[in-house]
Amino acid sequence: MKLRSVAVAVGLAMVAAGVLVALAWGADPSAIPSAAPVVVLEGGDLRSDGAGPGLVGNPLLILGAVVALGVATAVVTFAVARLTRPG
């Protein structure tokens, strides 16, 4: 029973990580949902160091941190549930 619960928790964490990676790869920042024409200013984003318009920081590092936080939360929740279970 214990191994099965751990396997389910790990499986759910892997599915969540896969969904996040798929969403990150599938995101198209150039897609504009409005039908109206949009004027794009040439000159770039002053916050960026030339890596791309609007990209500040390291998106992959942030994605990894979010996934790690989710896995850590799942592990702590599982541990608390196991330790505080009556009987």
Q: What is the pLDDT of residues 25-81, one digit of tens each?
A: 766 656 555 555 656 556 555 555 555 555 567 778 889 999 999 999 999 999 888
Residue with the bigger pLDDT between 6 and 71: it is 71
Contacts of 56 (CB under 8 A, 6+ apart): 47, 48
In whole angstroms, what is the distance from residue 81 CA to residue 74 CA?
10
pTM beyond cutoff 0.85 = no
Contact 68, 16 (CB under 8 A): no
pLDDT at 58: 77
Say which DSSP state 84 is in: T
Q: Give yes or no for residue 83 having a pLDDT over 60.
A: yes
Q: In angstroms, what CA-CA distances link 47 with 29, 52, 54, 82?
A: 17, 10, 7, 47
